[in-house]
Structure 1
């Protein structure tokens, strides 16, 4: 879509340069799809020189400008710790875009998170792995916020005007966990209507992250040995009021709620009952 109100394209990743009427530009796949009648400048961060993926003993740092295609290639990188079993989620979440190679080579991790659509699979991935976002402010300050708390509603985040998402850190402790992924949509190539990820760490605790069916990420944590089926359902009912379920053409709230219950139980059975079997 043409954006005929834009007066300047400014290559910068300096939040101090931001002023009202500006928007940060990375992949631009959503920005150019929806357009705008109010924006005057685009602040282009694509040439900031940020390393897309940085691997250390502490985990993985994903630059906001990391493209989906670059993230998809991550599991093939040599030297990755073999015990980082949660890397299995990377390609499952990338595939949840159900997008063409053209989108994969333009859309970015940071853009998908900041757009804050309920079906954003980078939100699902980073929230489920306890990702922590580094945010740069126009006044020079830097703050860290969990991705699960950064997105607070449909197309709503806690980012203040001018703030810029710099990167997301995925801790090694979460990457070490066993994981289970479940996704449903109303059509074979449709937008995610329900997307749940569960993980169990070495301590046996279960972390369940609900996305796509809800307007914002919802995370439940259960100490070992974890909940039974009834306890899990009760916890979901308590954590997700009905009006938090998303409502659009990709799924009615009742369907999203019922499928959330179903997929959560599948994940619980896969992760916890297999753990009990292994210990026996």
Structure 2
């Protein structure tokens, strides 16, 4: 969609270019920004020209995912968890090539697949401030509610850091654009998602990941904001509200999410050999 109110466009090539003028907003993939009218937006600042590397190894064995990394790059990582969690978000392969990980998280929709995946992985968002500072916050708390994050005006997410403790699987090589490879360990986990329609938006997304100390489970889609369960915690102990919209009633979401939590925990406990070939729940 044409944005008739936009009169300026800037490509950010260094951090100083990220200072927003009145009416400006950040642009990454643009799959939501250009999907509907934005009457308050008069200018856009393109983050993709900053040249952030999509995937980078971290000291100690972790993995950094740039905020501008296309979702398709995450989906293609070795290990079933990446692809199955990504498929919890209804989108075509064309959208996956353009939509970014950071955009999906910062949009703060309940059905944000990257939010659920990164919360289960215990990832931290690296946030750049307009004053030149930097702060870190777990993805699970960055998203505060429907269309609501902790980001202040002018803050931008630089990357998401996945700790090595959440990458308990075997090492694998990942081909990088332009040549070269990246060696990273894969997460061990399980995914379930359900929709009221065969090809509808997920009303429930549950992701479990084995960590160094146990199993971490995230619930998204079914709740206004991400919910993370550690060992011994049940949804009834932690969830304070179940989301209610056209994609599912609260009681349905609670019942399905509770069942899924038990299933993914059992699957992770059984080991990689018990991994399912599909994390999709049949139409409810």
TM over 0.5: yes
Alpha-carbon deviations, 1:219-272, whole Å to 9, x = none?
1112xxxx4xxxx5xx3212112xx21111111111111111111121233234
Q: Is the 8 A contact 1:69 1:104 kept in 2?
A: yes
Q: Give the equivalent residue in structure 2 for 1:11.
A: 11
Structure 2 counterpart SS, 1:2: coil
Q: Give the equivalent residue in structure 2 for 1:179.
A: 189
Q: Give 1:202 shift.
A: 4.2
Distance in 2, Cα, partners of 1:212 & 1:252:
11
Q: Give the equivalent residue in structure 2 for 1:74.
A: 77
Q: Give the equivalent residue in structure 1 for 2:237.
A: 238
Structure 2 vs 1, CA of residues 20 and 58 (structure 1 numbering), >3 Å: closer, same or farther? farther
Q: Give 1:73 shift.
A: 2.7
Alpha-carbon deviations, 1:143-196, whole Å to 9, x = none?
011101100000100000010010001111111163121111111211111011
Q: Give 1:47 shift.
A: 1.1
Establish whether residue 261 from structure 1 lines up as the match of residue 264 from structure 2. Answer: no
Once the two structures are superposed, the pairs formed by residues 108-257 of structure 1 within 5 Å of their partners are: 108-176=100-168, 178-203=188-213, 205-222=214-231, 227=232, 235-241=234-240, 244-257=241-254
Give unmatched runs, 5+ long, in structure 1.
76-86
Q: Give the equivalent residue in structure 2 for 1:58.
A: 61
Distance in 2, Cα, partners of 1:94 & 1:264:
18
Q: Is the 8 A contact 1:19 1:162 kept in 2?
A: no
Q: Give the equivalent residue in structure 2 for 1:36.
A: 38
Query: Normalized against structure 2, the TM-score is what?
Result: 0.83
Q: Is the 8 A contact 2:124 2:160 kept in 1?
A: yes
Give unmatched runs, 5+ long, in structure 2.
169-186, 275-284
Q: Give 1:208 shift.
A: 1.6
Q: Give the equivalent residue in structure 1 for 2:173.
A: none
Structure 2 counterpart SS, 1:54: strand
Q: Pick one of 83, 89, 108 that aligns with 1:91.
A: 83
Structure 1 or 2: larger helix share? 1
Q: Is the 8 A contact 2:117 2:218 kept in 1?
A: no
Q: Give 1:58 shift.
A: 2.5
Distance in 2, Cα, partners of 1:51 & 1:27:
15
Structure 2 counterpart SS, 1:152: strand
Once the two structures are superposed, the pairs formed by residues 95-110 of structure 1 within 5 Å of their partners are: 95-110=87-102
Distance in 2, Cα, partners of 1:120 & 1:208:
15
Q: Aligned pair count?
A: 251
Q: Give the equivalent residue in structure 2 for 1:80.
A: none
Distance in 1, Cα, partners of 2:188 & 2:109:
27
